[in-house]
Amino acid sequence: MGGGILQYVTVFVLAVFVGIEVISKVPSILHTPLMSGSNAIHGVILVGAILILGHTNTVPEEVLGFLAVVLATLNVVGGFVVTDRMLEMFKGKPGDRAQTPRADGEPGGRT
C-alpha cells in the first residue's frame, strides 16, 4: 500500500465522523428533506462521471461515461429541485416573519 491510499483512508475516516456529527439531532419533520438533500449531494458523482468521459478513448468507456453523466445529472438536478420544493412549503406566508415551522421541536423558539 502506498502513502496515497493511506491519505485517502484518513480522509474517509474523518468524513465518517463529520457525517455522523453534523446531523446528530434532526427533528422528525425534517427527516424527508434531509434525506432528499443528502441524496442531491451524492450526485457529486457527476464530477467523477465527467472525469471518466473526459479522459477516455475507447468506445465502451465512452458509452459508460456518457450514461454515467446522464444519470448523475438526473441525481444532482432532481435532488436539489425536489428538496427545494419540499422546503419551500415550510416557508411562512408573505409578510409572516417567522420562517420556521413551529412544530419543529424547538420549544421556546420565536413564534
Partner 1 sequence: MSRATAIDLCYLVAIAAFILALKGLASPRRARLGNIIGAAGMVVAIGATFAQPNLAHLWMIIVAMIIGLVIAVPAARLVKMTAIPQMVAVFNGVGGGAAALVSIAEFISPAYRGAATYKVVEVLFGVLVGSVSFSGSAIAFAKLQELMTGRPITYPGQQALNAVVAACVVGLAGAVIATSSAPILWVLLIAALVLGVIFVLPIGGADVPVLISLLNSFTGLAVAASGFTLDNNLLIVAGTLVGASGILLTRMMSQAMGRSLPNILFSAFGSVVSASGGTEGPEGRSVRSGTPEDIGVLLAYARKVVIIPGYGLAVAQAQHAARELADTLMARGVEVFYAIHPVAGRMPGHMNVLLAEANVPYDELKEMDEANPQLPTTDVALVVGANDTVNPAAKSTPGSPIYGMPIINADQAAHIVFLKRSMRPGFAGIDNELLYDPKTVMLFGDAKDTLQKLVTAVNDA
Min dist CB 6 to partner 1, Å, is 11
Cα 90 versus chain centre, distance = 19
Confirm or reject binding of residue 6 to partner 1 (CB under 8 A).
no
45-65 as b/e: b if 16+ CB within 10 A:
ebeebeebbeeeeeeeeeeeb
Site string for partner 1, 61-90 (x = CB under 8 A): xx-xxxxxxxxxxxxxxxxxxxxxxxxxxx
Site string for partner 1, 10-29 (x = CB under 8 A): -xx--xxxxxx-xxxxxxxx
Residues 34-63 touching partner 1, rule: CB under 8 A, are 34-58, 60-62
